[in-house]
């Protein structure tokens, strides 16, 4: 049967699939629109199955907050190649998923996939459509949520590094963003000393001991020097103890308390593809 350009365009608008794929889907299903949509989803599932062992190290990392800045999300939508990651349509798709996750207060990746996409299909089904359209494996690779009296989000240009930071009190958007940018630039491993795990601490100590021994220091001095290096580690690698990048005469906590004596960051999440 003859398939009109209007029908092809309608299917293309709903699914995002290519024009020829939409035309074929309609022809294979004798013009039945819903069956054509299912056909394209199944195509996506087949592509996903065929590419199940592929690595998805590229993608888009986004951060968003609610309008009242009380909750923020950080999400990585994965793909296989940077060619797809920089595509405007893929970035828009990732942004739409982030918006749905934020608006629906999703707690996990699994919850996001079960949510409705445009009141028509689930997010999981939309992913299958996109796999069929793009020809690459795509997934939700990372997802975190934090809440606070104020939550700030920062996305570094290029969508490869994003941060959300929670605070215990309200503060100006610019100051909150400054701390989020600090976390993006300086890659802290924890909020403060208490956030450093025992495993992480022991790993840093062991590295320090090996370096000290390699320098030929006496064995009875190794532990004392290693503990000194840990103090430096805290200063360089925990957000509140890092030198504030806009004024190295103070650390981040001192910067916050120069705004309000009781102000501090309570949590942060950072994800980077670099």
Quick one: pLDDT band at residue 110, thresholds 50, 70, 90?
Answer: very high
At residue 260, φ and ψ (nearest 5 deg) are: -155, 125
- β-pair type (71-79, 58-65): antiparallel
pLDDT of 53 above 80: no
Residue 50: the pLDDT is 56
Q: What residue spans define the domains of the chain?
A: 5-50, 58-185, 193-265
pLDDT of 16 above 70: no
Q: Is 78 helix (H, G, I), strand (E, B) or coil?
A: strand
Mean pLDDT of all residues in 29-42: 81
* CATH placement of domain 5-50: 1.10.8.10
Convert the pLDDT of each residue in 171-201 to its tens digit.
999 999 999 999 999 999 999 999 999 999 9
Among residues 90, 89, 86, 115, the alpha carbon closest in space to that of 100 is found at 115
- The strand order across the sheet containing 58-65 reads 58-65, 71-79, 140-147
List, in order, residues 6 or more apart from 2 with CB less than 8 Å away.
none
Residue 165: the pLDDT is 98
Tokens of 30: 């004798």
Convert the pLDDT of each residue in 141-174 to its tens digit.
999 999 999 999 999 999 999 999 999 999 999 9
Q: Does domain 193-265 have CATH number 1.10.286.20?
A: yes
Evaluate whether 169 touches 263 at the Cβ level (below 8 Å): yes
- HEC readout, 91-123: HHHHHHHHHHHHHCCCCCHHHHHHCEECCCEEH
Q: Which helix (H) or strand (E) holds 244?
A: strand 243-244
Rounded Cα gap, residues 211 and 223, in angstroms: 12
- Candidate ranges 30-34, 63-67, 135-139; pick with highest mean pLDDT: 63-67
Rounded Cα gap, residues 257 and 88, in angstroms: 41
Evaluate whether 33 touches 10 at the Cβ level (below 8 Å): yes
Please indicate whether residue 68 or residue 204 has the higher confidence score (pLDDT).
Answer: 68
Residue length, the chain? Answer: 274
Quick one: pLDDT band at residue 35, thresholds 50, 70, 90?
Answer: confident
Q: Is 246 helix (H, G, I), strand (E, B) or coil?
A: coil
Convert the pLDDT of each residue in 219-267 to its tens digit.
888 888 888 888 899 999 999 999 999 999 999 999 999 999 999 999 9
Architecture per CATH, domain 58-185, reads as 2-Layer Sandwich (3.30)
Mean pLDDT of all residues in 26-36: 84
Mean pLDDT of all residues in 93-103: 98
């Amino acid at each position: 049967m003859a398939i009109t350009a209007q029908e092809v365009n309608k299917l293309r608008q709903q699914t995002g699939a290519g024009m020829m794929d939409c035309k074929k889907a309609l022809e294979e299903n004798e013009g039945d629109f819903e069956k054509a949509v299912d056909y394209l989803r199944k195509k996506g599932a087949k592509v996903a199955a065929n590419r199940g062992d592929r690595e998805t190290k590229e993608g888009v990392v986004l951060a968003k907050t609610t309008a009242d800045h009380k909750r923020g999300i950080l999400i990585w939508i994965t793909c296989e190649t940077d060619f797809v990651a920089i595509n405007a349509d893929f970035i828009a798709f990732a942004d739409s998923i982030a918006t749905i996750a934020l608006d629906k207060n999703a707690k996990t990746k699994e919850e996001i996939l079960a949510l409705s996409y445009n009141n028509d299909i689930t997010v999981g089904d939309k992913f299958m459509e996109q796999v069929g359209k793009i020809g690459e494996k795509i997934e939700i690779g990372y997802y975190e949520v934090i809440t606070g009296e104020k939550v700030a989000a920062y996305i570094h240009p290029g969508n490869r590094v994003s941060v959300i930071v929670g605070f215990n009190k309200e503060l100006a958007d610019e100051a909150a963003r400054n701390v989020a940018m600090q976390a993006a630039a300086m890659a802290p491993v924890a909020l403060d000393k208490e956030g450093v795990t025992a495993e992480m601490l022991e790993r840093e100590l062991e590295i320090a001991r090996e370096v000290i021994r390699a320098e030929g220091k006496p064995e009875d001095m190794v532990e004392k020097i290693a503990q000194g290096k840990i103090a430096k580690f805290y200063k360089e690698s925990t957000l509140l103890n890092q030198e504030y990048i806009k004024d190295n005469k103070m650390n981040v906590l001192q910067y916050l308390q120069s705004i309000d004596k009781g102000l501090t960051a309570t949590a942060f999440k950072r994800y980077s593809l670099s």
